[in-house]
Amino acid sequence: MKKRPLLAIAAVLLQAVMPAVSQTAGSDMADSSAYVRTALVRPRAKADHSAEIEKLLRQMTLEEKVGQMTQLTIDMVTKGKDQQVEIDPEKLEKAIVKYGVGSILNVTNQALTLDHWHRIIGPIQQAAKRSRLKIPVIYGVDSIHGANYVQGATLFPQQLGMAATWNPALMQRSAEIAAMETRAAGIPWSFSPVLDVGRHAMWPRLWETFGEDPYLATVMGTVFVRGLEGQDVSSGKHVASSLKHFVGYSFPLTGRDRTPSYIPEYALREFFLPPFAAAVKAGARTVMVNSAEINGVPGHINKHLLTDVLQNELGFDGFIVTDWEDIKKLVTQWHVATDEKEATRLAILAGNDMSMVPLSYSFSDLLIELVKENKVPMSRINDAVRRILRVKFELGLFTDAMPDHSLRANFGKSEYPAIALQSARESITLLQNKNNILPLAKDKKILVTGPTADSMISLNNGWTYVWQGSEPWLYPKDKPTVQAAIGEKLGGGKVTFVPGTRIVRKANSTSNNNPTNIDQEVDIPTAVAAAKAVDAVVLCLGEGSYTEHPGNIDDLTLPWIQLKLAEAIITTGKPVVIVLVEGRPRIINRVANKVDGIVMAYNPGNEGGHAIADVIFGDYNPDGKLPITYPRSPGYFPTYDVQRFERASGSDPAFLPQFEFGHGLSYTTFQYSDLKISPTSIRANDTVNVSFSIKNTGTRAGKETAILYVRDEIASMTPAQKRVRRFAKVYLEPGQSKTLTFSLGREDLSFIGSDNKPVIEPGEFTVMVGPLSGKFNLK
């Protein structure tokens, strides 16, 4: 059969990401994936600034060009720290006027107010106006789950939680709000979204991904980009995105951050590249590089991936930025270069356009030397600078780079918290509900206990006000923790809180002395005594905050002190509901079957306390579904799309996760019926339509995510048991039904062959949705 390049597949993904939906009753499809289809295919208008860019390039000296390729951290232009950080005029003059630095990033230690950000950004752009060619600076921060480095900004669930909503409309809206609140601070560039596909349960950045499925990550990642960049990225409502971390970063062999991955190219293209390909097609302006290595080649010198694939094959015309200090690490960590000068040469020739140096001028000095020594051609420098200038023009920075005080009107709007709350509610996933223990009655006496019960830190995780999200005093005082939200809801002295255990942060010599989380016992006997005096227990377990290497762990099992608390509470015989507030699926097999209810909350953000209480007490009917496979044991981390024999009856070992990908219960029931496949025999370029009905057969209104899987029965590369190809989230009143129709094309039936190119082969295919399945043939 004819093969098609990955870029063509990305284009079709953008056009066919969402289903066509017809319905037999009702009209509320606002929460369906169909919401986004028009937004995804709308053309992205990019003004042509070629003439202006080429004019500038002709005027620029080598030093000015290299300056544009240099990114420094805020510490290089400021003095003081925390809320006392201010511009240092002498440092600023050196960076912007003398060296012509093109980009600044980061915060010193913590989030700043809007006013404070304006006091930082304004002088930086004024300094740029004093430079010879007056080229504005592009400032970037990690707006990961909202404008998390701006005090008072709206914070949403982290990406793994947003994936659990299966609601692209909410993802796009949250990204739009993040963009507006970031731009209001005078910052036009966000280092997000994370498009790494999270297929290793131990990886400490799993919660920053959209989970283990490439299609779900593609859909959610693309609407994230659209929300950030909009149709006019120069407007005061949008910012440039940065797709990270290109590519394969999320599948380290050991599960530890920034450690080697071994991924055959066919698997890289099948599982890890599609979200990047689609986001590039959607117009993403920048890409950040994988800080680790693949197959023995560090990401920052992988010319095949950065130049051959990203730029040439996918057609990426924005600029590529390194991650933190990663050119230096080619010498100190990866040992692929004898010194920083050689590392700089390798990185620039591989395709990096901007170096996040970020604490010295070594990159600028060394790159200038390399060009003068003819070791890096001027053509490569011009290409990099051309890309950087293009993004600056598209952002409107040449028109006005100064902070716009009028954009305050877009910050902290009264409707934003409700959107964050709805996102948190839809993310929460009911994993277990024995004897319909949930929802709990509001007239019962409740004990709330556990280390995440009274923690805003756990609700948010890293990238929250500081890098590690670890400073409790920075969190808003008007947002309740889980125990506080339950207390508010029930009132009248019905709620008792005893922590039982706690999570503290201590320096760890194995993590460069960065503080890591340590679990400590506080008052387990007191918690047990309190449990005996109530009707039910809400036991909040999970993790503190972390990201990157401070989050490395040796064992995915929930810390033993939390399991000790859980087992002690269970012995009281009272009904127990576990609430998991965590960024990755910690192993709970010792206690999972001994409790009545299990709720997965992920990291739901500042509105998470309210959202969890709403679900537990029935004010919101849960509709989240797992975007990961929840493992049962610490030595076996399967993904849902394992090969067929791994799921076969009697297989050794058996495919037996704690909870499967796509699992999520509701307080109502849904019935799937009337599966129709038409036609049942197609050719390679034909379309097959799959329709089915969903009916709410329970007594409560609720939302159901219909996930359509396809299996290729026989293929030249061992086929997966099933792969997600479409999904839609529908709202149904009791007794209401809707008919959904999905259209599948050749890209939904193709796979990456042994020659690393997409191929489609004739044969039988099985379609699965809910409990239904049917077949069709490809001639």
Q: For residues 304 and 302, give the distance between their C-alpha atoms in angstroms, rounded to a whole number.
A: 5
Q: For residues 122 and 80, give the distance between their C-alpha atoms in angstroms, rounded to a whole number.
A: 18
Q: Are 181 and 230 in contact (CB under 8 A)?
A: no
Concatenated DSSP letters for 299-353?
GGG-HIIIIIIIIIIT---SEEE--TTTTTHHHHTS--SSSHHHHHHHHHHHT--
Distance of CA 464 to the CA centre of its chain: 14
Backbone phi and psi for residue 140, each to the nearest 5 degrees, phi listed first: -130, 145
**Block residue for tokens 């047990």:** 528
Q: For residues 230 and 403, give the distance between their C-alpha atoms in angstroms, rounded to a whole number.
A: 19
Q: For residues 158 and 471, give the distance between their C-alpha atoms in angstroms, rounded to a whole number.
A: 18
711-750 burial, b at 16+ Cβ within 10 Å, e below that, comes to: bbeebeeebbbbbbbbbbbbbbeeebbbbbbbebbbbbbb
Q: Are 279 and 238 in contact (CB under 8 A)?
A: no
Preceding amide of 358 cis, omega within 30:
yes
Q: Which residues contact 364 (CB under 8 A, 6 or more apart)?
A: 63, 66, 67, 69, 70, 99, 101
Q: For residues 635 and 202, give the distance between their C-alpha atoms in angstroms, rounded to a whole number.
A: 10
Q: 332, exposed or middle or buried, with CB in 10 Å at 0-12, 13-18, 19+?
A: exposed
Preceding amide of 439 cis, omega within 30:
yes
- CA-nearest of 756, 663, 749 to 707 is 663
Q: Is the Cα dihedral 255, 260, 262, 263 positive or negative?
A: positive
Residue 423 corresponds to which amino acid?
S
Angle at 214 between CA 208 and CA 218, to 5 degrees: 75
Residue 574 corresponds to which amino acid?
K
Q: For residues 494 and 47, give the distance between their C-alpha atoms in angstroms, rounded to a whole number.
A: 61
Helix, strand or coil, per DSSP, at residue 3:
coil
Could you tell me which residues are beta bridge partners of residue 430?
Answer: 599, 665
Could you tell me which residues are beta bridge partners of residue 190?
Answer: 141
Ramachandran region, residue 581 (left: φ > 0; alpha: ψ -120 to 50; beta: rest): beta
**Block residue for tokens 């939302």:** 703
- Would you give the DSSP letter of residue 436? G
Residue 443 bears catalytic tag: no
Q: Are 76 and 95 in contact (CB under 8 A)?
A: yes
Q: Is the Cα dihedral 143, 145, 148, 150 positive or negative?
A: positive
Helix, strand or coil, per DSSP, at residue 229:
helix
Backbone phi and psi for residue 310, each to the nearest 5 degrees, phi listed first: -65, -50
Ramachandran region, residue 463 (left: φ > 0; alpha: ψ -120 to 50; beta: rest): left
Concatenated DSSP letters for 719-741?
PBS-EEEEEEEEEE-TT-EEEEE
Q: Which residues contact 712 (CB under 8 A, 6 or more apart)?
A: 719, 720, 749, 751, 761, 763, 765
256-292 burial, b at 16+ Cβ within 10 Å, e below that, comes to: bbbebbebebbbbbbbbbbbbbbbbbbbbbbbbbbbb
- Of the candidates 323, 353, 712, 748, the residue annotated as catalytic is 323
Helix, strand or coil, per DSSP, at residue 84:
helix
Catalytic residues: 323
